[in-house]
A and B are shown apart, each in its own frame.
Chain A
Amino acid sequence: MNILVFSDNKKVKNCFSEIEAGSDYTVEYMPCSDLKKCAKKAAPGSLVYYDPSGSTQEEQVKIIRYLSRLNGYYYGILDPRSSIEDIASLFHNGASDYVGMALFKKGLSLKRQKKLSEFIRAGETAVAEETASAAAYNYRLSGPGWDNVKDGKEYTFCIMFIEIDDYSSIRKKFGVENFKTLTDRFHDHLEWDLSPCGGRVWMWSDYGGLVLFPFDGRECSPIMKCFRLMLNRKLINIEYFDIDFFLSYRIALLLGNTVYRSRGQTGTIVSDSVNTIFHIGHKFAEKGNFYLTSELAEYIPAGLENYFVHEGEFEGRDIMRMRLPL
């Protein structure tokens, strides 16, 4: 197992000397300031130890939150001054190990480390069980891109609903031709903006439709894309739509399964998820807002959680709404 130790304590190497001497582990030492830069570059399955004693309370919270969200890595806390009051909360946040003052001074033994490996493996079993429950949820991961997505097969996608608000009154005001020019621009902007993170405009009427994003179960970049579509909606209006009023649109995101068929060949698709996202978009969503279903909440980028509020329940799903920039 690869162990990464992020600590500014000069005596930290003593703590790991026995483990380093054994052949089952490789140990690397780095300053705490390199944690964010280096932790993700480590081999998947690595154990990352963080010593928060030189950090402020706020930094500690940030870094522990960061570590708890690192997919495919395990983390432990080194606490050479035994200053952490609520040790259990570390484990609630996904930590795999805790080394207090006494143990830090004594040093970690190989025997203990092997037990820790067993503990981690047991945790993996639990995760596997969770994955099994996800399988029971019927997720069929489509992977990070479109390479493995085949026509006619069912996958789990992040499905985005987006539609121009009050389109019928805009069409009346603008005239059919001008409205078409506007909606073409809207469509083209979405394609240009969303395609770098894998978005494909999939079902489209004149004034809105669905965009599909592949989903690999690890991260969900469409959330950030939609967040920016709302944050920058006035800039987008001015720069891309060239009209003298603000074009309002509403967005909903859902994680769900559907058979994939290429655009234009979707007429025969029967999908509960597709129905649901349309229902959310048409019956639940308010003008100018962005919603996501609760299964996506865990993929909201760390630091932006407070910008989503619970908005209610719809067709058995909890719905979150993004707080709007004014």
Chain B
Amino acid sequence: MQVRKSLFNLTFKALVESFKVESMEKVASMLLRDYDLHKRTGYPGSISVPKRDAARQIIKDIEKAGRFPDLVIKLIDIHTNGYMGRNYTIHYLKNILNDIKEQGLIFDPEYKIFMEDPAARRTRNWGALRQGEEYIITFLRLDIVGNSQLVRKYPPDIIDRTYSGLRKIVQDAIDRRNGRIWNWEGDGGLVAFCFSKKNMQATLSAVNILHELFIFNQTGCELEKPLRLRIAIHSGPYEYSPNEEDLNKSETVKKAVLIENKYTQPNTVTVSNMVSIALDKLLLQQFKPIDVDIRTKYYNYSLEWEH
């Protein structure tokens, strides 16, 4: 996040008008270990640091440490929940958030994190995930059934058009639900969902993909037989890495692939038990249970028509 002058000034005014110097220093200490305001400003210990100098120094130090978003998140938390049993009103908080929004970032209250405003831009990590940190991610794994045979049977231009059509269907479905394609190869791909209602969003995307695939097959597909997909959804911990190769090492990804391979019929969606517990009752009602073992059930959806 870029701390431009307007944002610096708003945060400066927020600190000055919302806190005493001692409280300001406590906020700084929560983000920067062993923070000593006197040392940082050069004032001797016997003299109290003027409010404006304190605020300016704290923001500069926090920005330098790359923790500015955390400072704003802390201010939101103090504004909402108070601090040490005391209520605080943080002035200019709305203006600060608007200034940040102008930079294409919005605050996710559930995850307490700044992420990309999907209307402004879409990057692989939502502008929020940090390499090496662990997050709970919902993975949507999709696989084109019989990809090798299709590639052998049809000329490349037909395959290109067909797979581009599929890619567009997937992209449209996940863009509306804030998903990110983390891997796309010849035979399918892996889509990640993070933040609010990620299990719902992934499942709705999958059902939507299946419906649009039906229309594509009926009206626009150039293959002799309908293009078929297997889709599986599983959620679990994932240590974020921007490298696609690291995906295959993740146990959560491996499980999603296993569910797709072993428990998913062509043109159906299977969700794991981890995902199913987070689904809206009405959505889960559309799925049929699959017994995996005595304790585990997966759930499967397919598009069926009246005869």
Interface positions of A (Cβ within 8 A of B): 33-34, 36-37, 56, 58-59, 62, 224, 227-228, 231-232, 234-235, 237-239, 244-246, 301-304, 307, 323-326
Q: Does B281 contact A (CB under 8 A)?
A: yes
Report whether A304 and B306 are in contact in the complex, using a CB–CB cutoff of 8 Å. Answer: no
In the complex, identify which listed stretch (B119-127, B218-226, B257-265) lies at the interface while the others stay far away: B218-226
Distance between A218 CB and nearest chain B CB, rounded to angstroms: 17
Q: Which residues of B contact A323 (CB under 8 A)?
A: 305-307
Per the bound structure, the CA–CA distance linking A307 and B214 in Å amounts to: 12
Per the bound structure, the CA–CA distance linking A227 and B305 in Å amounts to: 13
Checking B219, B283, B286, B306 against A324 with a beta-carbon cut-off of 8 angstroms, the contacting residue is B306
21 contacting pairs across A/B (C-beta < 8 A): A33-B157, A37-B161, A227-B215, A231-B214, A232-B211, A238-B200, A244-B281, A245-B282, A304-B215, A304-B218, A304-B219, A307-B218, A307-B305, A323-B305, A323-B306, A323-B307, A325-B304, A325-B305, A325-B306, A326-B304, A326-B306
Q: Does B277 contact A (CB under 8 A)?
A: no
Q: Does B204 contact A (CB under 8 A)?
A: yes
Chain B binding surface SS class: helix
Interface positions of B (Cβ within 8 A of A): 155, 157-158, 161, 200, 204, 207-208, 211, 214-215, 218-220, 222, 224, 280-283, 286, 303-307
User: Chain A: which residue is nearest B157 at the CB level?
Assistant: A33
Q: Which residues of A contact B220 (CB under 8 A)?
A: 303
Checking A227, A244, A302 against B282 with a beta-carbon cut-off of 8 angstroms, the contacting residue is A244
Checking A224, A231, A234, A245 against B286 with a beta-carbon cut-off of 8 angstroms, the contacting residue is A234
Q: Which residues of B contact A224 (CB under 8 A)?
A: 215
Per the bound structure, the CA–CA distance linking A141 and B194 in Å amounts to: 48
Report whether A238 and B204 are in contact in the complex, using a CB–CB cutoff of 8 Å. Answer: yes
Q: Which residues of A contact B219 (CB under 8 A)?
A: 301-304
Chain A binding surface SS class: helix
Per the bound structure, the CA–CA distance linking A239 and B176 in Å amounts to: 11
- Since A227-B215, A244-B281, A246-B282 are in contact, a sample of 13 more A-B pairs with Cβ atoms closer than 8 Å, ordered by chain A residue number, is A62-B222, A231-B211, A231-B215, A234-B283, A235-B207, A237-B282, A238-B282, A238-B283, A245-B282, A302-B219, A303-B218, A325-B306, A326-B304
Per the bound structure, the CA–CA distance linking A182 and B19 in Å amounts to: 44
Per the bound structure, the CA–CA distance linking A304 and B280 in Å amounts to: 31
Q: Which residues of B contact A237 (CB under 8 A)?
A: 282
Q: Which residues of A contact B161 (CB under 8 A)?
A: 37
Report whether A326 and B305 are in contact in the complex, using a CB–CB cutoff of 8 Å. Answer: yes
Q: Which residues of B contact A304 (CB under 8 A)?
A: 215, 218-219
Per the bound structure, the CA–CA distance linking A56 and B225 in Å amounts to: 11
Checking B157, B204, B218, B281 against A239 with a beta-carbon cut-off of 8 angstroms, the contacting residue is B204
Report whether A59 and B286 are in contact in the complex, using a CB–CB cutoff of 8 Å. Answer: no
Report whether A33 and B224 are in contact in the complex, using a CB–CB cutoff of 8 Å. Answer: no
Interface-centre pick from A37, A245, A303 (highest chain B CB count, 10 A)? A303
Report whether A238 and B280 are in contact in the complex, using a CB–CB cutoff of 8 Å. Answer: yes
Distance between B195 CB and nearest chain A CB, rounded to angstroms: 16
Distance between A7 CB and nearest chain B CB, rounded to angstroms: 15
Q: Which residues of B contact A238 (CB under 8 A)?
A: 200, 204, 280, 282-283
Distance between A120 CB and nearest chain B CB, rounded to angstroms: 28
Per the bound structure, the CA–CA distance linking A303 and B215 in Å amounts to: 9
User: Chain B: which residue is nearest A227 at the CB level?
Assistant: B215
Report whether A36 and B222 are in contact in the complex, using a CB–CB cutoff of 8 Å. Answer: yes
Given contacts A59-B224, A239-B204, A244-B282, contact A33 B158 (CB under 8 A): yes
Q: Which residues of B contact A62 (CB under 8 A)?
A: 222
Report whether A235 and B305 are in contact in the complex, using a CB–CB cutoff of 8 Å. Answer: no
Q: Which residues of A contact B307 (CB under 8 A)?
A: 323
Q: Which residues of B contact A37 (CB under 8 A)?
A: 161
Q: Which residues of A contact B155 (CB under 8 A)?
A: 33
User: Chain B: which residue is nearest A36 at the CB level?
Assistant: B222
Q: Which residues of B contact A235 (CB under 8 A)?
A: 204, 207-208, 211
User: Chain B: which residue is nearest A58 at the CB level?
Assistant: B224
Q: Which residues of A contact B215 (CB under 8 A)?
A: 224, 227-228, 231, 304
User: Chain B: which residue is nearest A224 at the CB level?
Assistant: B215
